A and B are shown apart, each in its own frame.
Chain A
Amino acid sequence: MDKLEYKNIIKKLKSIVTKVGDMFGETMIGKFLGKNKQVLLIRSMISNNIRQYGMIFALIVIMIFFNYQTGGVSLYPLNISNILLQNAHILILAVGMLIVILTGNIDLSVGSVAAFVGAIAGIMMIRNDYHWSISVAAALSIGLMAGAWNGFWIAYIKIPAFIVTLGGMLIFRGLTLVVLKGASLGPFPDEFNSISSGFIPDIFGGDGLHILTIVIGILFSLGYIYYAYTGRRKKQKYGFDVAPVWMTVFSSTFIIVALNLFTFTLARYRGFPNVSIILFIVIIIYAFITTKTVIGRHVYAMGGNYEAAKLSGVKTKKVMFLIYVNMGLLAAISGLVYAARLNAAVPKAGNLFELDAIAAAYIGGASASGGVGTVIGAIIGGLVMGVINNGMSLMSLGIDWQQVVKGLVLLLAVWFDIATKNKAK
């Protein structure tokens, strides 16, 4: 390829990126509505979340692409269910990792911690016949302790997180090998195994259609409508500008349709997998904590400017410590989910999980220097990677090419971010 041609391609790619940015951020809505206060409100809402909308858009495009390439197989109910099962452990990690990244730090040890926790669960349940509930509780406490170990060195002794967790990565991987004596353990009792292989029971006894799953979808839709409605009412009570009715209706409709399409698709197979319930609870709890609570605000503040947050009375050491304890807990949940999915405790479990989780957070709009990112963004980032993996597998492209594509997606996503940001300047 000669130089000129290459330059032209770059130029084209650039203009596509900025055009997509335009579409979501600025001009389109401006052109439709002209300038008034409400438009400015909508604009700022959109341009503040442009990365997230961009990724949702990208996710949809990717799904359509694979659906076309695989002749519709990728959107089969069975496959949608599989995507959830295949990625739940990474998505759970990505939530914790996002919070760590918000503070401008990183955790490289989560894959090893997940493996270690799985190993402990295996030894307790398989070798020593402990009840699964006791084993799970013990495994989760081990995760908490591993997190506290990392958190202690990072928050109180002030050793850089990269080094502490690189150490943790080696330590917990080593311990996994020690306790498993280098061999795999399996199978797990059925109760435990069902975390990642079971589906929620259908109390309505639907035939060929999982009624409870659909009911949950409808309940959540109603909940969402109530939430959107009261939110507007409250804002109006305070005399704030609210987005125009049509926009709220439009966005609510979009979310409700997407949600019910999703639950209906799952219902056509076997309904919600058990693991998806764990995943959704994790997402809801952490989305809530990061956006609505005082400690969530403190996390963002620390990531934005650690010293300023400290001088504002944020208990920075304590918060930092808790963030790593929490990461340990989520790594433990992830490790259990993964062990249940493999139905075995294996020494190699959790290999490179940390990098997938970190990539998910970055693709989802988190900033490496801290203070920027959302839980929902990290989940979308994780899904983008998961859907690509799944789609490529269906197209019988191996793990080798999947890695190449994943790497490129990460790069492109961050490029998109920088391009739109530069434009905003």
Chain B
Amino acid sequence: MNEYILEMRNITKEFPGVKALDNVNIKVKKGEIHALVGENGAGKSTLMNVLSGVYPYGNYSGDIYYNGEICKFNGIKSSEKKGIGIIHQELALIMYLSIAENIFLGNERSTRGIIDWDKTRSKTVELLKRVGLNENPGTLIKDIGVGKQQLVEIAKSLSKNIDLLILDEPTSALNEEDSQNLLNLIVELKSHGVTSIIISHKLNEIEQISDSITILRDGKTIESLDMVKDKVDEDRIIKSMVGRELTDLFPKRNAKIGETILEVKNWNIDHPMYERKILNDININVKSGEVVGIAGLMGAGRTEFAMSIFGKSYGKNIEGEMFLHGKKVDFKNISQAIKHGLAYVTEDRKNLGLILINDIKRNVTLSNLDRVRQGIIIDENKEIVEVEEQVKSLTIKCSSILQKTKNLSGGNQQKVVLSKWMFTNPEVLILDEPTRGIDVGAKYEIYTIINQLAEAGKAVIVISSELSEVIGMSDRIYVMSEGNITGELDKSEATQEEIMKLIVSEKVGVSS
């Protein structure tokens, strides 16, 4: 038998005008966890699409050997038949169908077109057990969290008897706890003989679970390493990914912390639909030139808090007091909040941050058209000048400011969202997961922008699920858990363990 389950040799794939893959080679050993890393646009997803047959044979050049035999896939079905399963970054589950229906969608347990529900159910129970998910097969997908949905996706793949599982950014939407569960599952599957290829930006996770690693840059294989033999660590990977050494993941900041700009006292809100408290007596303040982090798990109420102070854009029965420069304020709607110098950069840039079918220009000026209007008319010339200035100062890579934002990379999209809010000239910026799903190089640039904002005397609040990011960027950290602030730490006393303890402590308190 061959030692390698998969070999891709000299794969080249061209799109009009770009070589997305240029003689890429990758070898995956049977029963290992193989990491595939690279910056956004390095070609990882394209490579996996070639492998899974999304780009059929003949559409690329090079050879795919699977279990030693050459394969010519012409669609996902044909690669699945061979035992290759792929789970995409954006989950492909149907919200209003049950777990069981989703798992066997397109692969129904049936006789002559009539579904055998008993068989479906028992098979589902079996599969859910394998992925460690304790849910009723009849539960609708919309009623379980993203973490569990991810597990259902894996169960769906396993139902097709696969032996090579490809996971594209599986933990990007998960909190630390769910991520850990998922990683454990992948290791568990490995012990049952399932080989995995994992694409991820989270290098600590890769370091934790993978056996070997292939690094891509600009559509080329840079190197393949054995994690143990080559003593691979994060610095080593980053260096190889970006082609340069990032001396420090977080750039230095030189800001003078001044007086308090925003203060929120005894803030309480309820869920907009159900009778349920979301936030419980939250007290937070932030000073000029200061970056304040809010750490916590997903669902801790951080986003809800940010949106509720941003012109009551979330929640019901909002109670509490808010002070700007010591003066009490009460924003009835979002445009009032914006006028008073608040800006909220959403965690969900595609659905809530950008108008993807519109160009950069229209996106940037949308929140503050007052700045470019004369009377009731928008002065388009002025608009162009101002937006081009923004694009230049944030080094947004684009063909022109008339490029549609849906055609930009994740990092550049995030910069457009940032420049949209900088365009409103805010005093307080709330950044919700500002670096989610963007690559190392772009992250560094976003951090630099955050520092510049602080240095310009703005008050910045950073909400992040990545503990290293919160610690690396903040002067002060609040930890939130289950709608409460469970601790406040100074930069000097903050460690990942300390924060984790504060996150967990409340959980214990609630359940007891």
Which residues of A line the B interface, CB within 8 A? 44, 48, 234-235, 237-238, 240, 292-295, 297, 300-301, 304-305, 307-315, 371-372
Of B44-52, B243-251, B362-370, which binds chain A?
B362-370
Contact A300/B358 with A305-B351, A309-B366 known, Cβ cut-off 8 Å: yes
Top 8 closest pairs, chain A to chain B, by CB:
A304-B355, A313-B335, A312-B367, A305-B355, A313-B338, A312-B366, A294-B369, A313-B334
Q: Are A304 and B352 in contact (CB under 8 A)?
A: no
Q: Are A305 and B362 in contact (CB under 8 A)?
A: no
Contact A304/B381 with A294-B376, A312-B367, A313-B334 known, Cβ cut-off 8 Å: no
Min CB gap B209→A, angstroms: 36
Q: Are A297 and B357 in contact (CB under 8 A)?
A: no
Query: Across the interface, which residues of A come within 8 angstroms of B381, CB to CB?
Result: 234-235, 237-238, 240
CA distance A292 to B356 in the complex (A): 21
Q: Jot down 12 A-B pairs with beta carbons below 8 A, ordered by A.
A: A234-B381, A237-B381, A240-B384, A292-B376, A294-B369, A297-B369, A300-B358, A304-B358, A308-B353, A310-B313, A311-B353, A312-B334
Additional pairs, 8, CB under 8 Å, beyond known A294-B369, A297-B366, A304-B356: A237-B381, A238-B384, A294-B376, A297-B362, A301-B355, A311-B344, A312-B420, A313-B367
Contact A300/B344 with A235-B381, A294-B369, A309-B355 known, Cβ cut-off 8 Å: no
CA distance A312 to B358 in the complex (A): 14
Min CB gap B269→A, angstroms: 17
Check: B395 CB closer than 8 A to any chain A CB. Answer: no
Check: B196 CB closer than 8 A to any chain A CB. Answer: no
Q: Are B369 and A308 in contact (CB under 8 A)?
A: no
Q: Which of B311, B346, B357, B369 contacts A372 (CB 8 A)?
A: B357
Contact A305/B356 with A311-B346, A315-B335 known, Cβ cut-off 8 Å: yes
A-B contact count (CB 8 A): 80
CA distance A310 to B351 in the complex (A): 12
Q: Are A371 and B385 in contact (CB under 8 A)?
A: no
Min CB gap A121→B, angstroms: 32
CA distance A334 to B344 in the complex (A): 43
Min CB gap A220→B, angstroms: 20
Check: B505 CB closer than 8 A to any chain A CB. Answer: no
CA distance A293 to B385 in the complex (A): 18
Contact A300/B335 with A294-B378, A305-B351, A311-B346 known, Cβ cut-off 8 Å: no
Query: Across the interface, which residues of B come within 8 angstroms of A371, CB to CB?
Result: 355, 357-358
CA distance A307 to B355 in the complex (A): 9
Query: Across the interface, which residues of A come within 8 angstroms of B366, CB to CB?
Result: 297, 301, 309, 312, 314
CA distance A294 to B337 in the complex (A): 19
Min CB gap B426→A, angstroms: 12
Q: Mark B366-405, 1 if CB is under 8 A from A, else 0.
A: 1101100100111001101100000000000000101000
Query: Across the interface, which residues of B come within 8 angstroms of A308, CB to CB?
Result: 351-355
Q: Are B358 and A311 in contact (CB under 8 A)?
A: no
Check: B333 CB closer than 8 A to any chain A CB. Answer: yes
Interface centre among A234, A235, A305, A311 (most CB of B within 10 A): A311
Query: Across the interface, which residues of A come within 8 angstroms of B370, CB to CB?
Result: 294
Q: Are A44 and B351 in contact (CB under 8 A)?
A: no
Min CB gap A270→B, angstroms: 36
Q: Are A301 and B362 in contact (CB under 8 A)?
A: yes
What range describes how many residues of B lie at the interface? 20 to 34
Query: Across the interface, which residues of B come within 8 angstroms of A314, CB to CB?
Result: 335, 366
Contact A292/B362 with A307-B352, A311-B352 known, Cβ cut-off 8 Å: no
CA distance A212 to B344 in the complex (A): 57
Min CB gap A401→B, angstroms: 37
CA distance A48 to B358 in the complex (A): 12
Query: Across the interface, which residues of B come within 8 angstroms of A300, CB to CB?
Result: 358, 362
CA distance A238 to B388 in the complex (A): 12
Which B-chain residue is minimally distant from A305 (CB atoms)? B355
CA distance A312 to B310 in the complex (A): 11
Interface centre among A297, A309, A313 (most CB of B within 10 A): A313
Q: Mark B414-429, 1 if CB is under 8 A from A, else 0.
A: 0000001000000000
Query: Across the interface, which residues of B come within 8 angstroms of A237, CB to CB?
Result: 381
CA distance A312 to B423 in the complex (A): 11
Q: Which of B373, B378, B402 contacts A44 (CB 8 A)?
A: B402
Query: Across the interface, which residues of B come within 8 angstroms of A295, CB to CB?
Result: 376
CA distance A309 to B253 in the complex (A): 33
Interface residues of B in 261-308 (CB under 8 A from A): none
Query: Across the interface, which residues of A come within 8 angstroms of B351, CB to CB?
Result: 305, 307-308
Q: Are B354 and A305 in contact (CB under 8 A)?
A: yes
Query: Across the interface, which residues of A come within 8 angstroms of B338, CB to CB?
Result: 313
CA distance A310 to B333 in the complex (A): 10
Query: Across the interface, which residues of B come within 8 angstroms of A293, CB to CB?
Result: 376-378
CA distance A293 to B333 in the complex (A): 22
Q: Are B400 and A310 in contact (CB under 8 A)?
A: no
Min CB gap A227→B, angstroms: 13
Min CB gap B416→A, angstroms: 12
Query: Across the interface, which residues of B come within 8 angstroms of A44, CB to CB?
Result: 400, 402
Query: Across the interface, which residues of A come within 8 angstroms of B400, CB to CB?
Result: 44
Query: Across the interface, which residues of A come within 8 angstroms of B382, CB to CB?
Result: 238
Q: Are A315 and B378 in contact (CB under 8 A)?
A: no
CA distance A294 to B367 in the complex (A): 11
CA distance A44 to B344 in the complex (A): 33
CA distance A137 to B351 in the complex (A): 43
Interface centre among B337, B352, B355, B357 (most CB of A within 10 A): B355
Min CB gap B461→A, angstroms: 16
Query: Across the interface, which residues of A come within 8 angstroms of B378, CB to CB?
Result: 292-294, 297
Which A-chain residue is minimally distant from B370 (CB atoms)? A294
Interface centre among B351, B352, B362 (most CB of A within 10 A): B352
CA distance A305 to B352 in the complex (A): 8
CA distance A240 to B337 in the complex (A): 35
CA distance A300 to B338 in the complex (A): 20
Min CB gap A374→B, angstroms: 14
Query: Across the interface, which residues of A come within 8 angstroms of B369, CB to CB?
Result: 294, 297
Which A-chain residue is minimally distant from B399 (CB atoms)? A40
CA distance A3 to B376 in the complex (A): 58
Which B-chain residue is minimally distant from A234 (CB atoms)? B381
Q: Are A311 and B334 in contact (CB under 8 A)?
A: yes
CA distance A371 to B358 in the complex (A): 8
Query: Across the interface, which residues of A come within 8 angstroms of B376, CB to CB?
Result: 292-295
CA distance A293 to B372 in the complex (A): 11
Query: Across the interface, which residues of A come within 8 angstroms of B367, CB to CB?
Result: 312-313
Which A-chain residue is minimally distant from B373 (CB atoms)? A294
CA distance A234 to B379 in the complex (A): 11
Q: Are A238 and B402 in contact (CB under 8 A)?
A: no
Min CB gap B247→A, angstroms: 36
Query: Across the interface, which residues of A come within 8 angstroms of B333, CB to CB?
Result: 315
CA distance A44 to B335 in the complex (A): 33
Q: Mark B159-172, 1 if CB is under 8 A from A, else 0.
A: 00000000000000
CA distance A293 to B379 in the complex (A): 9
Interface centre among A234, A308, A310 (most CB of B within 10 A): A308
Query: Across the interface, which residues of A come within 8 angstroms of B356, CB to CB?
Result: 304-305
Which A-chain residue is minimally distant from B366 (CB atoms)? A312
Q: Are B355 and A311 in contact (CB under 8 A)?
A: no
Which A-chain residue is minimally distant from B383 (CB atoms)? A297
Query: Across the interface, which residues of B come within 8 angstroms of A304, CB to CB?
Result: 355-358
Which A-chain residue is minimally distant from B337 (CB atoms)? A313
CA distance A294 to B355 in the complex (A): 16
Min CB gap B49→A, angstroms: 16
Query: Across the interface, which residues of B come within 8 angstroms of A313, CB to CB?
Result: 311, 334-335, 337-338, 367
Which B-chain residue is minimally distant from A313 (CB atoms)? B335
CA distance A412 to B470 in the complex (A): 54
CA distance A301 to B352 in the complex (A): 12
Interface residues of B in 332-347 (CB under 8 A from A): 333-335, 337-338, 344, 346
Q: Are B358 and A301 in contact (CB under 8 A)?
A: yes
Query: Across the interface, which residues of A come within 8 angstroms of B402, CB to CB?
Result: 44, 48
CA distance A114 to B370 in the complex (A): 37
Which A-chain residue is minimally distant from B375 (CB atoms)? A293
